A = this chain, B = another copy of it.
Amino acid sequence: MSSAKPLLSKRQSSSSSSSNGIMHKCQLSTNRSPKKVCLVGSGNWGCVIARIIAANMASSPDVFDPVLTMWVFEETVDGRKLSEIINSDHENVKYLPGYKLPTNVVAVPNLKEAVTGTDVLIFCVPHQFLGKMLPQIKEQGLVPDCIGVSLIKGIDFDDQGVVLVSSIIQTALDIDCSVLMGANVANEVAAGDFCESTLGCNDLRHGAFLQDLFHTNRFRVNVVLDPHGVELCGALKNVVALGAGFCDGLGYGGNTKAAIIRLGLIEMKKFCYRFFDGIKEDTFFESCGVADLITTCFGGRNRKCAELFVKDKGVTWEEMEATVLNGQKLQGTWTAKEVYHIIEKTHSLPEFPLFAAIYRIAFEGADPTTIVKL
C-alpha cells in the first residue's frame, strides 16, 4: 500500500490503485445469495450496532442470512458465561445493560467458529486485540468474496509511516476493509436518538451493500469514497478532545474552547493531507468529521478525563482509566502519543503546535495553560 519513500511516506487513500487488486475481485457483487455477517466484538458499541444490523438483517432475508453471529470475548458474569447470558436472556448485561438484543443475534465465544463462512466481518474490538485475532481468522480461512468493516478508532505507525487499523485488517486477511465512524455516543444510539454516521469505503459497491446493513431512519449512514479520511477523523478527534478537556479543566469559556476545537480540526486536516494521498476535503464535513469532533469535545470520556487531569493535579491517566472509566482504555492519550511520535520523526512539530502542546501537557508535565500559547 505504501509508496517507496523510506520513512513515514504518504499512504494511498484509495485501494483502487493498490497492488492487491481489491477492486478487481468484485466481492459481493456476483453472488446474490443471502450474506452471512459476523460481528467480531460484543462491547458497548458492538452491542449497540448489533441491535441495528440484526434488525436490518431480519427484515431483508433475500439479502442477509437472518442470523447475526457475534463473537464474544468469554467472561464470567455473576457465575454465568457471558455468551450463554446473551443467547438465553438476549442482553449483554455487562456492556449494554437495559437494552435487549434481537433474538437473531447469536453469541459465539470461539473466534474460528464465529467467522466460518462469513461474507462480512465487522470489527469492533480494542485495537490491541487484533494482533492475536487476525492470524486466527486467517488460519480459519475466509470465503473468497468476504469483506471487512472496521469500527475501531485508533492509529498505529511503522517505519513506512502511519498505519490505519483498516490497513492492518486488509493486509492480514487480504480482504477489502471499509470503516464506519461518526458522532455516535453509544448509549444515545441505543436509546434510538436520531444521529448520523459515515461509512468510508474503497469501493462504492461495498459501500452501498454495507449501507443497507447499517442504515436506519434514526441511524443515517452516508457513504464516502475516502476510507482513510474517515478513519483518521475517528482517531484524531480524540486528541483534540483532550485539548477541549484541558480548556474545561482550566475554566476557560466558550470562545476559547471553540478556538481550540477549530485549531484541532485544522491540524486534523493537515495531518491527513501530510501523511495520506487522496483525502477528500468534504470528509471533514461528514458526521465522522466536524460532528464527531463536536460530540467528543463536549461529551466524551477523553474530554472528561482531560478536565480531571487539570483539576486533580497529580492524577495519572492510568488511575482515571481504572476509576473513572471502570477499566476501559482512553483512546485519546494513546493516539496523542502515536501522533506526537509521527510528527516528531518527520520533523513536523512546527506544523502541529496544538497536537504537540496536548502531548506535552498530557505526558511531559507542561503547564496546561500552554494550550492557548501556540
Contacts and interface: CB of A to CB of B under 8 A. Distances in A.
Interface in A247-284: 252-259, 261-262, 265-266, 269, 281, 284
Interface in A279-338: 281, 284-287, 290-292, 294-295, 298-299
Q: How many copies of this chain sit in the oligomeric assembly?
A: 2
Interface in A146-204: 183-185, 188-189, 191, 193-196
A372 interface: yes
Nearest to A220: B259
B292 A258 contact: yes
B194 A291 contact: no
Contacts of A269: 285
A250 to B, nearest CB: 10
Contacts of A284: 285
Given A194-B372, A295-B254, A285 B259 contact: no
A253 B355 CA distance: 28
A286 B263 CA distance: 9
A176 to B, nearest CB: 27
A255 B372 contact: no
Given A193-B252, A254-B183, A259 B281 contact: no
Given A185-B253, A188-B253, A255-B188, A262 B290 contact: yes
